Amino acid sequence: MPYTLITANRNYSSWSLRPWVLMTMLGIPFEDRIEPFTADSNYEAFRAFSPTGQVPVLLDDARTVWDSLGITLYLADRHEGVWPQDPAARAWAQCAVTEMHGGFSALRNDCTMNVGVRVKPKPMSAALERDVARIAELWAQGLDSFGGPFLAGPHFTAVDAFFAPVAFRVRTYGLDVGHAGQEWVDHMLGLPAMLAWEKDALIERWREAGHEAELRACGEIIADYRRA
């Protein structure tokens, strides 16, 4: 039986995007199950399928695999292409994935993901400036070291999946990630998998008050392309 991947709203859920775009780009079959955010806290409802009360979750027959990094590591044990083949690129990609998974809190808090809008952000805090500068530095390093067009070389791997939500954030908030970083963002946003995620985000009918409030706190909404 194929995997079942449980994710949440396309507009909001950056953590869900990571395994979804990874599996889609690598051609790993899965059933796509959406459990939308419907309240400020979805913990109790999500506990029915997730031990942490969070998404994403991967179901493999009777086995439950949780957390976007946990899912990535699980898939890497079973499928080719999750990590780069080149040892240096693989080591760099694994470090960058871990840094993204555990860091960049100012970016997460001050530039919440919302695929369907464009925002004039509030003045950047020093912490957000550091996060954006580090992302630009990291992306330029990967692209320069391994030749692009993806962060760790010629093929899409887990490191691109983990920074895929940042590509949407760069566009939403007009963040400056340098020339090389912007080229990667443009390339990513043109991928069929990312276009499919965006298409679903624009037509989904769910709006959740807490996420919408977070968005308004990030700045002035200057365009809203969501259709629902």
- The pLDDT, as a whole number, for residue 223 is 98
Q: What pLDDT is attached to residue 45? A: 80
CATH number, domain of 136, equals: 1.20.1050.10
**What pLDDT does residue 43 have?**
76
Q: Does residue 33 surpass a pLDDT of 80? A: yes
Q: Are residues 28 and 118 in the same domain?
A: no
CATH of the domain at 72: 3.40.30.10
Q: Is the pLDDT of residue 39 over 80?
A: no
Range of the domain at 177: 87-196
Residue 38: what pLDDT?
77
Q: Using CA atoms, how far apart are residues 178 and 8, in angstroms rounded to an integer?
A: 31
Query: Cα-atom radius of gyration of the chain, to the nearest Å?
Result: 17
Q: Examine residue 23 and state whether it is found in any structural domain, yes or no.
A: yes
pLDDT at 115 over 80: yes
Asked if residue 224 belongs to a domain, the reply is: no
Given a contact cutoff of 8 angstroms between Cβ atoms, the answer to whether 42 and 51 are in contact is no
Is the same domain home to 66 and 126?
no
Same domain, 7 and 49: yes
Cα(first)–Cα(last) distance of the chain, in Å? Answer: 34
Residue 203 in any domain: the answer is: no
CA distance 153 to 184: 12
Number of domains in the chain: 2
Helix (H, G, I), strand (E, B) or coil at 81: coil
Report the DSSP pairing between strands 3-7 and 57-60. antiparallel
Q: Give residue-wise pLDDT tens across range 125-140.
A: 999 999 999 999 999 9
36 lies in the same domain as 94: no
pLDDT single digits (tens) 140-194: 999 999 999 999 999 999 999 999 999 999 999 999 999 999 999 999 999 999 9
Would you say residue 180 lies in a domain?
Answer: yes
Q: What is the pLDDT of residues 54-92, one digit of tens each?
A: 899 999 999 999 999 999 999 999 999 999 999 999 999
